[in-house]
């Protein structure tokens, strides 16, 4: 039976490598669409959780997991030997940056080391991990062709960028359009056919390089525009203007403007990192990406600016940062999630610690924090303020916080997210 028939009949055995915030929702959608799905993971704890129907990703409902496990549509394993039995393989592994700011493709290479000895005819491999244009054709393809199999004839290879927005209940894996670009037209056709079974719309493009570039453009667009919003915030501060009022008024224009908002910096795995993948690649081709670099510099300076606002707020109480108690509201990189990767809150907390502040934090999604030299547990905000706190800093505007109480009880508030817009007071400083 040909691969396209297997896919259309839901008889294709689907594999997803990496069961994180991208891979697990994708595996669940494939399973919900009628495929038998196997998730491959190196972390035994995650495999055990999946096989027990327990979710560790906020965007995946536990009752859905339990139903899929009970129906035997979904299972997980650490045994990569089972890849030889799979018809399609989607690679959803992390792609961090090294300290030198160049791409770290270690996890992709590790996945390929597992796939290569098990690659067989009529098998489709799709890379979803965000990376630089050319990775699929320059890195993945040569490694797989070492088997002697020919792409587009014996096996198929494509790139389809993940577009997950953690915590977004409106746009999910199923209804976010899926971009697909294959190494050959037949590769594109089969990859598009596969994803069309579990997402509402598939957007085929002419090549894997185009698909890789699409993802980087999307997040570079956000990074550059957030950088502009942050710089406008600094300008407005120097001019005595409320930047939030400016943006809200500008957003009433029905054309030619999209509102982006300032904050304490960029966080998450994508927006702070993806533009640097693009910068690295184009520099290899002799192009200087000035917009990207400037936006990165502005965004990277925002934790220091927040630190200065805290210092100013304490000075108004005739206090210095050193030995003052500073309580942080929200340490995750965005509202409504538990992910702390690249969170600007960590950078601000590190600066406060270096200046001698006694810091604590509240975050309903992050019980314990052990990063950037910090070892703290989330504390109830009421308890902290009742015991005395010199300044509260709002770094992630979780919907769970009682901002009215904070406005009443805190001696000083530095709000980097405009969470206190409805609570005026001289003790409140907004970004």
Same domain, 12 and 145: yes
The reply to whether 192 and 332 lie within a common domain is no
Asked if pLDDT for residue 419 goes beyond 90, the answer is yes
Residue 325, in any domain of the structure = yes
Residues 367-400 have pLDDT tens digits of 999 887 888 999 999 999 998 899 999 999 999 9
Q: Residue 414, SS3?
A: strand
Question: What pLDDT band is residue 196 in, cutting at 50, 70 and 90?
Answer: very high
Q: Specify the CATH number for the domain of residue 335.
A: 3.40.50.720
231-271 residue pLDDT tens = 999 999 999 999 999 999 999 999 999 999 999 999 887 78
Domain count, the chain: 2
Neighbours of 100 (CB within 10 A): 7
Domain boundary, last residue among 149, 179, 206 = 206
Query: What pLDDT was estimated at residue 169?
Result: 85
pLDDT digits (tens, 9 = 90+) for 299-354: 999 999 999 999 999 999 999 999 999 999 999 999 999 999 889 999 999 999 99
Residues identified as active-site: 270
Report residue 230: phi and psi, to 5°.
Answer: -65, -40
Angle between helices 274-284 and 208-239 (to 10 degrees): 110
Residue 42 and residue 177 share a domain? yes
CA proximity to 50, closest of 77, 12, 16: 77
Q: Which of 97, 174, 198, 191 is nearest to 136 (CA)?
A: 191
Tokens found for residue 157: 């290879």
Of 206, 227, 243, the position where a domain reaches its end is 206
Q: Which of 188, 206, 224 is the last residue of a domain?
A: 206
| Residue 11 sits in the same domain as residue 154 | yes
Check whether residue 41 and residue 156 sit in a common domain. Answer: yes
220 falls within a domain:
no
Q: How far is CA 242 from the centre of its chain?
A: 29
**Six-digit token string for 162:** 């993940």
- Containing domain of residue 364, as a range? 302-430
Assigned domain for 367 exists = yes
∠ Cα 9 11 12 (to 5°): 115
What is the average pLDDT value for the chain, to the nearest integer? 94
pTM given for the model: 0.91
370 within some domain: yes
d(CA 148, CA 146): 5
Poorest-pLDDT segment among 28-32, 44-48, 103-107, 166-170: 166-170
């Amino acid at each position: 039976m040909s691969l396209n028939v297997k896919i259309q009949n839901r008889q294709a055995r689907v594999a997803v490598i990496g069961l994180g915030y991208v891979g697990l929702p994708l595996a669940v959608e494939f399973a919900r669409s009628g495929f038998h799905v196997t998730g491959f993971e190196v972390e035994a704890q995650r495999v055990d959780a999946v096989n027990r129907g327990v979710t560790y990703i906020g965007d995946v409902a536990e009752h859905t997991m339990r139903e899929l496990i009970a129906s035997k549509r979904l299972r997980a394993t650490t045994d990569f030997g089972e890849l030889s039995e799979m018809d399609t393989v989607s690679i959803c592994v992390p792609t961090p940056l090294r300290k030198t700011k160049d791409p770290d493709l270690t996890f992709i290479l590790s996945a390929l080391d597992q796939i290569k000895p098990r690659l067989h005819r009529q098998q489709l491999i799709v890379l979803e991990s965000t990376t630089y244009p050319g990775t699929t054709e320059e890195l993945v393809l040569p490694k797989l062709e070492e088997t002697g199999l020919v792409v587009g004839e014996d096996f198929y290879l494509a790139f389809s960028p993940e577009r997950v927005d953690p915590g977004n209940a409106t746009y999910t894996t199923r209804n976010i359009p899926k971009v697909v670009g294959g190494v050959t037209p037949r590769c594109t056709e089969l990859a598009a056919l596969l994803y069309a079974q579990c997402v509402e719309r598939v957007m085929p493009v002419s090549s894997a390089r185009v698909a890789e570039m699409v993802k980087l453009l999307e997040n570079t667009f956000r990074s550059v525009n957030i950088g502009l919003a942050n710089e406008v915030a600094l300008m407005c501060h120097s001019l005595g203007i409320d930047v939030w009022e400016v943006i809200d008024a500008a957003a009433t224009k029905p054309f030619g403007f999209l509102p982006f908002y300032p904050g304490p910096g960029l966080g998450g795995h994508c927006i702070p990192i993806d533009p640097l993948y693009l910068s690295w690649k184009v520099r290899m081709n002799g192009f200087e990406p000035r917009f990207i670099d400037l936006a990165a510099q502005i965004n990277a300076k925002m934790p220091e600016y927040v630190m200065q606002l805290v210092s100013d707020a304490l000075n108004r109480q005739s206090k210095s940062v050193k030995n003052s108690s500073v309580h942080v509201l929200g340490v995750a990189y965005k509202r409504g999630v538990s992910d702390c990767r690249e969170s600007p809150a960590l950078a601000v907390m590190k600066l406060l610690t270096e200046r001698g502040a006694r810091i604590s934090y509240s975050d309903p999604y992050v019980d314990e924090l052990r990063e950037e030299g910090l070892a703290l547990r989330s504390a109830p905000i009421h308890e902290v303020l009742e015991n005395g706190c010199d300044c509260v800093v709002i770094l992630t505007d979780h919907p769970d916080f009682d901002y009215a109480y904070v406005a009443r009880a805190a001696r000083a508030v530095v709000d980097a997210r405009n969470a206190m817009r409805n609570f005026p007071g001289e003790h409140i400083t907004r970004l």
